[in-house]
Amino acid sequence: MPTDNRNHAKSLHVTAKPVGSLCSLNCTYCYYAYADKPPAIGSAKSAIMSDATLEELIRGLVETSDTSEIHICWHGGEPLLAGMDFYERAVALQAQYCPPGRRFVNAFQTSGVGLDAEWARFLADNAFLVGLSIDGPKFLHDRCRHDRMGRSRFAASLSALHQLQRFGVPVNSLTTVGTHNFEHGARIYRFLKQLGFKFMQFIPVVERLNAKKRPAPPPGPAAKDEAMHPVADWSVPATGFGRFLNDVFDIWLRHDTGRVSVQNFDLLLRALLGAPSGLCVSARRCGDCLALEADGSLYACDHYVFPEYYLGKLGQETLGQLANRPSQHAFGEWKQESLPDDCLSCSFRQACHGGCPKHRFIPADRGHSRNYLCPSYKNFFAHAAPRMAERMTAPE
């Protein structure tokens, strides 16, 4: 299908929130549940994305992409709370609208609470890729991840993993790295490997709080960040994420290259090979990864669900029209336009491109800001890149 780049984005990724911020857990570091955004819809029943919005999303993704695979990530809150019927409708709509020779790729991010054999069978039958949130062994996982009664749900997450493995569902681990666990990189990696994970993602927790102790709007082209909001206590130290990655890398390089895929290391390898990044965080520009709320509200990014980055309501306009607003193009280009001089001259620029704009709040030159995690990235790149390059060029 030909693509008119004047009206459509080349390829969009949408993080869809079918139940908004509704969740089975009450994680300490959850930026989404406590951000100052438009009020959430009240009851669980009314919060579920409507069939009309779901159909607009599926149709819009087909129309705005010209790639063979059309990606969608079901997220939350807890996407399981939408119920299996919702995803049965989603799969049916995908089959209805997807042209021959193309296919939908569904990713599903969950805590695993409530995921039983019936769910695992459905996910397997429909080729869903599942990301399971787990922050390490129980004593680390439970420090920040608990339910609204303060109870551990670690056993429920492990039970979900066993069901997914039993039915052959491809499952990745997603581990947030904050003050609760950044000193335990080696232990966490070994634990995840022991559980059978072959693909791992490590995500740094970095949040600033406003005067109301809620997540502050991130810096960006639509909202100049004048205030020096304090970093939340649970955020990983500026050097801590690099320490964590280095600890994991040393074990992985010795024992698991070619056997375990760590997203952070895969991204560095792509940079060394001169290939485009496979993740928006380290890509040259932003703007192609949108966030859709349960009520059809579309935002510039999952980390920018704030009024300044509201694009409009799906159904009132098409996905392509909303994604191609001038404000969204400005948002995408701002990532490069706002780089300070020390980033422009950095030897690791191609591996980082300044990182996620959300984390750019450390004052730098020319009125710009650098990434809070810059010390971690430089430490990790300096530690890992030469050894990875040496491994790449070593004779077999």
Task: List residues with catalytic annotation.
Answer: 302
**What phi and psi, each to the nearest 5 degrees, are found at residue 120?**
-60, -40
What DSSP element (H or E) covers 236? none
Q: Scanning the structure block, which residue is given the tokens 């004048």?
A: 226
Work out whether strand 261-262 and strand 289-292 pair parallel, antiparallel, or are unpaired: unpaired
| Helix%, strand%, coil% for the chain, nearest 5 | 40, 15, 40
- 116 C-beta neighbours (distance < 10 Å), count: 12
Distance (Å) of CA 9 to CA 3, 225, 259: 8, 28, 35
For residues 144 and 37, give the distance between their C-alpha atoms in angstroms, rounded to a whole number: 23
The alpha-helical segments, DSSP class H, found in 318-373 are 319-323, 326-337, 341-344, 349-352
Instruction: List the one residue out of 188, 102, 101 whose CA is nearest residue 143.
Output: 188
Distance (Å) of CA 186 to CA 136, 157, 311, 378, 388: 10, 21, 42, 20, 18
What DSSP element (H or E) covers 170? none
